[in-house]
Structure 1
Amino acid sequence: MDKEELAEIIEKGEDSFTEFKEEKINSDDLASEIVAFANTEGGKILLGVSDKKEIKGVSRPDKEMQRIENISYNNCEPSLAVNIEKIKVNNKIILCIYIPKGPERPYRTNKGVYYIRTSSGKRQASREELLRLYQATRSIYYDELSVPTTSIDDLDILYFRRFFEGFYQTKIEDMNVDLDKLLENMKILTRMGKKLVFTVGGYLLFGLNPQKHFPVCKITIAKFYGNEIGEEFEKKDLEGKLEEQIEGADRILNQYLKTKVKIEGFENELKFEIPKGVLREAVVNAVAHRDYHIPSQIRIFIFDNRLEIMSPGKLPNSVTLENIKLGVHSERNQLIVSYLAKMGYMTQIGTGIPRMIRLLKEHTGREPDFEERDQEFIVRIWRPALW
């Protein structure tokens, strides 16, 4: 947002999508404002602007941004991911807090109160409004929500072109539609007022620099010595687009795991201690099904006797630790899953986990373990004792 846009918004005043607040607002009040927007259609809070449209500014913007993120995560239930933009006006800093239409509505404050947004501000939601919120969320997915401060300029056009022409077997120019409309139709971009911005999934898949707005959407691989977490370890952070993270994890894991050459006639066959298909399935599942609004990365820990793949978020909806082994699945991130399938990483029919179990039993004689711990889903793969 530039100074001119900010001036127009302030001049227009508060409405269903805009709220002015001064820096002194306490945590509970700010949480109630965030919850109200998330339960309705989303919106923005201009922190550092008074009700009388005076620009007061924020004295310590970086510290205040940290406080806002803590409030959205700890004072809102379920926690929310907000985007915060700094805007400098007349040597004063305004913080624009963008609150998305919540994918897990209804939200409430940590005091147990549900709010909704109206043209005159916020108010507590009635019982009927709460019921409607529950019903409406069935069609909302976090990866289809907007990333407010992005634009089509953030598109990696060469990467997108390679994907499009490879999958659809036609050139973009032959589609007889403007690029921005094509991207909107593909849910890579979405409308936010008069502007086209990225969806969360579109940005993570095709953005030039996904970590600019989602710094923890990455994979961290750590190699420990022994079978327990210790002080000495090797660590690698894999960033970039989702496909780049998957391919990077594939390369790093192949470096750390053991291989041997099996000679068949005149041919040499390289065999891995854990089938490559198993590792690929575990990593792709973590990337596809993690909860992206939890501010944490996917972690892969390598021990002497096992691998642990830990993805943020518990199993979604009706999926349990028992029925996941039978192929029962629920897509938390429909947009991301659909594109990973188009890229050849997934089938979208729930066969990945049963196949992983079968391959491991054939190769190592032992099934993987599945565990939920705090806000993480863990896949534990045991390495063969003799290799």
Structure 2
Amino acid sequence: MKEIDIIQQIKSGEVSKVQFKERLLDNYDIGCELVAFSNARGGTLVVGVKDKIGSVNPLSYLEVQETTNTLGNIASENVVPAILVDVETISVDGGSLVVAHIKEGMNKPYHDNRGIVWVKNGADKRKVFDNAELAEMMTDCGSFSPDEAGVRDATIKDLDENTIKTFLSNKFEKVLVRKGLVGDALCEASLDTVCSAIASGHNGEKLMRNLRFIRPDGKITLAAMLLFGKYTQRWLPAMTAKCISFVGNNLGGTQFRDKVNDADIEGNLLHQFETIMDFFNRNLRHIQVGKEFNSQGVLEIPYISLVEFTVNALVHRSLNATAPIRIFIFDDRVEIHSPGTLPNGLTVDDIVVGTSMPRNMFLFTNAIHLLPYTGAGSGMLRALSEGMNVSFTNNDRTNEFVITINRLEGNQVGENSNQATEKSNQVNGKSNQVNDNLDTELRYSGTERIKLTNKQKDIVNFCTVPRTAEEIMNRIGISNQSKNRKQNITPLVEAGYLEMTNPEHPNASNQKYRRSKK
């Protein structure tokens, strides 16, 4: 550091990464500063500056020697575990300044010699007592993996077999194709049968143990509950998402156009992803891109970008933070709030050039077999290549990473748009319910025009959130057999009341059906 740089910094005053001390009068206090720097992103301590008024009081030659020795002793005796401090001297008029550079620690959390953990809080520091914050420090430096932690009292019976089968069919696709377990055969096979086909002699529990979803102590891992849980929020209530489409541009607004109910978003990551994407499809405008009047429209914000941003929020969120993902649609922008700041010292500049350092490595490497992303670090680049006006905020104060996507002015919701009006969507929720008034006559199913029965109305309304064939069959109380699916689901698809989430592969094991937006 040069003299001109340090003088400029002194004029600017103390900040979170630069602290001033006139002299080292209290070893314990200095030790606390070093602890706080080590637990944060590192920092610089300048000795020879009055921290209250920012004026320079240079050290003599003897004071420089004493200060340098004292800093070394404090770093080894007052910081636990001990750290190394890089010390340099800078000559100024009348003497010298001692500048100590403290790197971000690799063995967090650090504490003082009284056992107290300190972190930076702006230009000051504060004590840490929250276990979640301590866990986040340990996660940040790789000494703790929350996605591999056990979920107390949960068993394999709390995991959804169909989702596990979907995961296994994607991960071991070649093996299962050779064994003939595809399409209906895979759907109708038991989990144990599928696992035995993958690894001879393995049932569901044994294979899940070998894949590290069940720990040696028998506990279900947090990653397994997130990926496969039947009722994930029963065990992990904060691992959910809040989705609201507001009237206007103010987070404090009292009116909304659409809101995903808590009960509808509850479920594993695949269910959450599909529910969030359905929310985007309902509330973002579709733009006509072809010359023909009936040409298919595309979302005003590219679908591929929304997929990448949503998957990143679900997979890379802090698992130690007890807060949900929040997704807001305003008239002029879309915001995606993911709990936890960027991990491993990443910056916004890093991620926009494709640098990938996953926070939850075990979850990250397995979610690729359920969620649509490559895991190669190219997702953010693909999203940004769509030419959107997007910004990223790494907010230390609120402990979250925020993606803000500006909506084009011509695509914003206006008073006379085809979106719901302010008056009809008050927060009292009177008109926020799913429209139950379906046509009494079904559109053409094949060549025959039939009336829509109450059971069919119930199926269509049930599929406001994407549902599997088995969920639909359970809803109407019959077995999930091929003939029952053809009789109860196919006519609704052909008539345009339901649509497949994966229309290119009708027999895909992860196929779901949702209410059509036509």
Pick the aligned partner of 1:242 from 269, 272, 277.
269
Kindly indicate whether residue 287 of structure 2 is the aligned counterpart of residue 260 of structure 1.
yes
Deviant stretches of 4+, over 4 Å: 133-137, 264-267
1:184-333 alignment to 2 at 5 Å? 184-192=209-217, 196-229=218-251, 230-233=253-256, 234-236=258-260, 237=262, 238-264=265-291, 268-333=295-360
Computed over aligned residues only, the root mean square deviation of the Cα atoms, in angstroms, reads 2.7
1:55-70 matches, within 5 Å, as none
Cα 1:321–1:197 change in 2 (3 A) is same
Partners in 2 of 1:295 and 1:134 — Cα distance? 16
**Is 2:147 aligned against 1:113?**
no
**In the aligned structure 2, how far is the partner of 1:136 from the partner of 1:274?**
33
Secondary structure at 1:386 match in 2: helix
User: What SS does structure 2 have at the residue aligned with 1:263?
Assistant: coil
Query: Unaligned 5+ residue runs, structure 1?
Result: 1-103, 115-132
The 10-residue stretch of structure 1 (346-355 or 243-252) with the greater mean CA deviation from structure 2:
346-355
1:343/1:136 CA distance change after superposition, 3 Å: closer
TM-score, normalization by structure 1: 0.62
Matches within 5 A, 1:139-218: 140-169=144-173, 170=176, 171-174=194-197, 175-176=199-200, 177-192=202-217, 196-218=218-240
Q: Distance in 2 between matches of 1:147 and 1:216?
A: 14
CA contact (8 A) 2:223 2:363 kept: yes
Q: Deviations over 1:36-88 (max 9, x none)?
A: xxxxxxxxxxxxxxxxxxxxxxxxxxxxxxxxxxxxxxxxxxxxxxxxxxxxx
CA distance in 1 between partners of 2:393 and 2:345 (Å): 16
Aligned pairs for 1:80-159 within 5 A:
106=109, 112-113=115-116, 138=142, 140-159=144-163
Q: Which amino acid in the other structure matches residue 379 of structure 1?
A: I
TM superposition shift of 1:190: 0.8
8 Å Cα contact 1:165-1:172 kept in structure 2: no
Q: Distance in 2 between matches of 1:284 and 1:138?
A: 22
Taking structure 2 as the reference length, what is the TM-score of the superposition? 0.47
Distance (Å, rounded) in 2 between the aligned partners of 1:224 and 1:293: 29
Q: 1:331-370 residue pairs with structure 2 within 5 A?
A: 331-359=358-386, 361=387, 364=388, 366=389, 368-370=390-392
| The structure with more radius of gyration | 2
- Give secondary structure in 2 for the equivalent of 1:371: strand
Map 1:10-25 to 2 at 5 A: none
CA distance in 2, matches of 1:164, 1:345: 15
- Give the drift of 1:107: 7.1
Question: Hey, what's the Cα distance between the residues in 2 that align with 1:224 and 1:107?
Answer: 43
Distance, in Å, in 1 between the alignment partners of 2:111 and 2:336 is 31
Q: Give, in angstroms, the shift of residue 346 of structure 1.
A: 1.7
Which of the pair is proportionally richer in strand?
1
Name the counterpart of 2:45: none
Q: 1:112 Cα deviation (Å)?
A: 4.9
Alignment match, 1:6 = none
Is 1:380 paired with 2:404? yes
User: Which deviates more, 210-219 or 170-179?
Assistant: 170-179
1:261/1:135 CA distance change after superposition, 3 Å: closer
| Larger RCO (CA within 8 A; separation ≥ 6) | 1
Per the TM alignment, residue 289 of structure 1 is displaced from its structure 2 partner at its CA by: 0.4
Q: Which amino acid aligns with 2:228?
A: F
Q: Look up the equivalent residue of 2:400 and give its one-letter code.
A: E
Q: For 2:361 and 2:115, locate their aligned partners in 1 and report how far apart those are by CA, in whole Å.
A: 30
Task: Report which stretch shifted further, 287-296 or 157-166.
Answer: 157-166
Q: Which amino acid aligns with 1:343?
A: L
Looking at structure 2, the residues matched to 325 and 350 of structure 1 have their Cα atoms a distance apart, in angstroms, of: 10
CA distance in 2, matches of 1:226, 1:214: 32
Measured after TM superposition, the shift of residue 329 of structure 1 is 1.6
Query: In the TM superposition, what is the alpha-carbon distance from 1:166 to its structure 2 partner?
Result: 3.7
Question: Could you say if the C-alpha distance between residues 203 and 342 of structure 1 is closer, same or farther in structure 2, counting changes exceeding 3 Å?
Answer: same
The farther-off stretch of 286-295 and 327-336 is 327-336
Residue 167 of structure 1 and its aligned partner are, at CA, apart by 3.1
Partners of 2:354 and 2:109 lie apart in 1 by 29
Shift of the 246–136 alpha-carbon distance from structure 1 to 2, 3 Å rule, reads closer
Q: Is the 1:221–1:301 contact (alpha carbons within 8 Å) kept by the matching residues of 2?
A: yes
For residue 159 of structure 1, give the secondary structure of its aligned residue in structure 2.
Answer: helix
- String of CA shifts for 1:177-214, please: whole Å, max 9, x gaps: 2322210121211122xxx1111111111122110111
- In 2: Cα distance, 1:157 partner to 1:271 partner: 35
Any conservation in 1 of the 2:325–2:339 contact (CA below 8 Å)? yes
Offset, 1:156: 1.2
Q: Which residue of 1 aligns with 2:93?
A: none
Partners in 2 of 1:292 and 1:107 — Cα distance?
A: 21
* Aligned-pair CA distance for 1:105: 5.1
CA shift in 2, pair 1:227/1:112, >3 Å: farther
- Residue 261 of structure 1: CA displacement? 2.7
Bigger shift: residues 316-325 or 261-270: 261-270
